[in-house]
Structure 1
Amino acid sequence: MDKILIRKLQVDAIIGIHDYEKQQKQPVWLDMDLSFDCLPAAQSDDIRDALDYFKVCERVSHFVASTRYELIEALAEAVTEVVLNEFACEQIELTLYKPNAVANTETVGIQINRWKQ
């Protein structure tokens, strides 16, 4: 299976368990590997046959920015559900980073894999 790769999509979100995190948005970064058969798009050179990564980024950005979660696990799961339910990909590997979570680290994060039911 082919993959569409999206790297370091940055979205400001309300995410965290601490009171100060619930008051102000902070950045999260998302890496997404979207399994999709790219051959029809390659043969037709038509966006209608492709997995439109611009639309995926736009939808995920809007979703993340408009929600509130305490745990990155919950946010990651919700993002995978949006992508699998709304786009023609069969599998998503999502890595979600929270760069401001722990001092003295570049970032912390979670990686999950989910498949279309």
Structure 2
Amino acid sequence: MTPKMAPEMERRIFIRDFRLQVSIGIHDFEKEGPQTVVVNIDLLLGAAQSAHGDRIAKVLNYDVVHDGIVALAKSRHFNLQETLVEAILDLCLTQPGVIEARVSTEKPDVYKDCRVGYEAVRRRAAG
């Protein structure tokens, strides 16, 4: 009789409802000052992240992702949410153990009756 293998556990780290002031937009009035942007991130981790032994050195430290996004948001003007999301995806996928990242942004102050945003998912290149 073959022993049953435990199913692979999926592990994720997330940052939700991260409110930032970002210089973003294509209109002249948007270029006059920063706007609120809400960022949500979901990171799929590889199996190696499971053997952490309760030690921070063995896991993805979300401070690095959080602080990296703050620095990115302050670094330049973004015309489009799509460009900001792509830059955050680049940051996330350079972190050890991250195999997939889902990033969304919203500009909550554009309309009074809805939220508008952009979302993209990217996997780390095989290799």
TM over 0.5: yes
Q: Which has the larger helix fraction? A: 1
Structure 2 runs not aligned, ≥5 long: 1-9
| 8 A Cα contact 2:65 2:91, kept in partner | no
Bigger Rg, structure 1 or 2: 2
1:16-56 CA-to-partner distances (Å, cap 9, x unmatched) read 11101111001111110011134122xx1000111111221
- Please state whether the residue corresponding to 2:36 is helix, strand or coil: strand
| 8 A Cα contact 1:11 1:65, kept in partner | no
Partner of 2:100: 91
Amino acid at match of 1:113: V
Structure 1 runs not aligned, ≥5 long: none
What's the offset of the Cα at 1:102?
A: 2.4
- Please state whether the residue corresponding to 2:15 is helix, strand or coil: strand
Query: Where do residues 1-117 of structure 1 align in structure 2 (5 Å cutoff)?
Result: 1-37=10-46, 38-41=49-52, 44-85=53-94, 87-88=95-96, 89-105=98-114, 107-117=115-125
What's the offset of the Cα at 1:97?
A: 0.9
CA RMSD of aligned residues (A): 1.2
What's the offset of the Cα at 1:67?
A: 2.0
